[in-house]
A and B are shown apart, each in its own frame.
Chain A
Amino acid sequence: MKKINSTLLLILMFLGGALIINFVMSGFSVSPGSLLWMKPGRFDGLISPYYYSILIILGINIILSVSLALLNGFTGLFTMGHAGFMAIGAYTSASVVTFLLPNAPFVIQLFCGSLAAGAFSALVGFFIGTSCLRLNGDYLGMVTLGFGEIIRIVLLNIDAVGGARGMTDIPVYMNLGSVFLLTIITILVIKRIRDGRLGRAMLAIKENEMAANMMGINPLSIKVRAFVISSFIAGVAGSFFAHSEGYLSTQTFTFTKSFEVIAMNVVGGLGSLSGAIVGAGILTVLPEGLRKLQDLTGIDIRMIIYALTMVLIMILRPQGLMGNKEWKWLSSK
């Protein structure tokens, strides 16, 4: 009982944190809208709308990055189709909210939308997982890359969700507080999975599949579970993305997005949860931060520096910035 209470306490604590963030960000407004779901209208709080939206993207990228870490870093399944799962989640949630529940209260819309997004994405993840699990290494990467693109092209050709025009008028519900809350919860969920017997089995399979077999671990079932959990979370991240932007285009979910998420994992350190977070932070903030430099110098050197930074990190710290290390609050001890 004590343990459940401490989990509840933790969630309440973060909920409090989220409310405080929203309170400050909305310029100390106490209306329920600004505290719970609306993006602040007047940014006389702390920061400009531009930085505000970067922080929201940062949260979503962290969720994506840690969900990929579960597949890529912990289970050792190299997949390149994460953007596909995110796309499924984004479009599913947007469709559920706009077509099925247009008049429901926002809590129900967001809850049902995210849940449907996660569930549908997990279902697709289950099918992709079961059908490619005899593949290893680069081959699995290739096939998942293909699946990711198939998902995108299918969405591009469904006229009901806007097709090539993109999907517009999606209700915007995510503000900084709620993204913060959901990011922290996702990180904790993944940490706890890693520290349980399932996580140990995943790591064992990554390290030595044959030996894992001899420990009575069924590698196929663990890999499918990793796929399902990871695609569920990626789907939910897609849903948050849809409801923070209010607009969806299939162009967002090309394989470059998948590679971006992989790069976050690699830069931070494959196999480290803290690394996935650090990587997401760097690869989200760096390209935006460099805009200032571009404004100052008047030369378009943003992408050059961005690319150089990545190359340098790979040369100087091939194991990633965090390597195998974890921050204390994320370590298993």
Chain B
Amino acid sequence: MAFLEVENMSLEFGGVKACQNVNFSLEPGILYGLIGPNGAGKSTIFNVLTGIYAPTRGDVRLGGESLVGKKPFEIAQKGIGRTFQNIRLFKELTVLENVMTSFYSSSHTTLADMVFQTKKFSSEEDEIRVKSLELLDVMGIKDLSDVPAGGLPYGKQRKLEIARALGLNPKLLLLDEPAAGLNPAETRELTNLIRDIQKARNITVLLIEHDMGLVMNICEKIYVLVQGQLVCEGVADVIQNDKRVIEAYLGVD
């Protein structure tokens, strides 16, 4: 039973065909990889899934419901969390506040609750704070919770972005190059972390990554995108031996 289906999705900017007839579906609880050369349209697919771009043709469905025409924040509320290739944290806010922000749509305090600081307000705030700290603990940055997010080292910023996306309690987590800019040790640590989180929360993860070691290591199924078209899908072994994939990455004689 696929819970996210992308059907004949095409996206064109004028004459530029960013995605052409992309078809794939994601099953719950599986870790997927999306790879492809630079400019293949991987991040574009993320942007379509999260509603930043509306597809020119085709459909995207989450649990049978079409996401086309939905606003980005509505899609986020439906349970798709994401991180960005170029980190987009709330830099002036503290690490803890960054994560607390993601509980916005699941909390219910009204303006009056805030102004009079009612019991509902304080219990909800406490709850959000505890949950956020738990997420930071999972990502191993709990001790930095009072530091402004912009002051974190790069690797920790990546972790914070994942923690923030998890605050939405997503069914589907999209990670856009989570290991970009990390050293091998950090990458290994993050790889294990992503796998642990995915198993522990039983969520679906779709990750874009150029670090093939990471992808081949943890992804249960991999999609390969070349020039806006899906050319191959399957487990790591299949991908590594596929002619079209090798052609796209290494060229042909």
> Does B bind A?
yes
Residues of A within 8 A of B (CB): 1-4, 6-7, 189, 192-193, 195-201, 203-204, 207-208, 210-219, 229, 271, 324
Q: How far is the CB of B54 from chain A (nearest CB, A)?
A: 14
Decide: A217 near B111, CB < 8 A? Known: A3-B122, A200-B100.
Answer: no
User: Quick one: which of A3, A200, A208, A324 contacts B117, CB cutoff 8 A?
Assistant: A3
Q: CB distance A201 to B88 under 8 Å?
A: no
- Establish whether residues A271 and B100, one from each chain, have CB atoms under 8 Å apart when the complex forms: no
What are 18 pairs between A and B in contact, CB < 8 Å?
A3-B117, A3-B119, A4-B116, A193-B114, A197-B107, A197-B114, A201-B104, A203-B90, A203-B92, A203-B97, A207-B89, A207-B92, A208-B89, A212-B101, A216-B106, A217-B73, A217-B104, A229-B111
Please state if A197 and B104 are interface contacts (CB–CB under 8 Å): yes
User: Do A211 and B121 touch across chains, with their CB atoms under 8 A apart?
Assistant: no
How many angstroms between the C-alpha atoms of A199 and B122 in the bound complex?
15
A233 to chain B: closest CB distance in Å? 12
B82 touches A196 (CB 8 A): no
Interface membership of B105, Cβ < 8 A: yes
Contact with A along B76-111 (1 / 0, CB 8 A): 110001101000111111000100111111110101
Contact A211 B89 (CB under 8 A): yes
A-B residue pair count with CB separations less than 8 angstroms: 112
Determine which of A4, A198, A203, A207 lies in contact with B114 in the assembled complex, contact meaning CB atoms within 8 Å. Answer: A198
Complex alpha-carbon distance, A215 and B121, angstroms: 20
Contact check, B113 vs A196: say whether CB atoms are below 8 A apart.
yes
* Contact indicator A216/B89 (Cβ below 8 Å): no
Is B50 interfacial (CB 8 A cutoff)?
A: yes
Given contacts A216-B73, A216-B77, contact A197 B90 (CB under 8 A): no
Chain A, residue nearest B168 (CB): A216
**Chain B residue contacts of A324, Cβ below 8 A:** 92
* Bound: A151/B119 CA distance, A: 41
In the complex, the answer to whether B97 meets A200 with C-beta atoms within 8 Å is yes
Q: Classify the secondary structure of A's interface with B.
A: helix
Q: From A199, A200, A203, A216, name the one whose CB has the most chain B CB atoms within 10 angstroms.
A: A216
The answer to whether B165 and A214 touch across the interface, beta carbons within 8 angstroms, is yes
- Nearest CB of B to A324, in Å: 7
Nearest neighbor of A1 in chain B, beta-carbon distance:
B119
6 smallest CB-CB distances across A and B, nearest first, come from A196-B114, A216-B105, A207-B90, A216-B76, A211-B88, A213-B72
Q: Which of B82, B92, B107, B125 is the one whose CB lies under 8 Å from A214?
A: B82
B185 lies within 8 A of chain A by Cβ: no
Q: Which residues of A contact B202 (CB under 8 A)?
A: none
Chain A minimum-CB-distance residue to B174:
A214
Give the CA-CA distance A177 to B149 in the complex, in Å.
42
Check A271/B92 contact, CB under 8 A, given A215-B104, A218-B73: yes
Q: Once the chains bind, are B121 and A200 in contact (CB under 8 Å)?
A: no
Is A216 a contact partner of B104 (Cβ separation < 8 A)? yes
CB distance from B168 to the nearest CB of A (A): 6
Is B158 in contact with chain A by the CB < 8 A criterion?
no
Residue B71 at the A interface, CB < 8 A?
Answer: yes
Q: Tell me which residues across on chain A come within 8 A of B159, comparing CB atoms.
A: none
A201 touches B101 (CB 8 A): yes
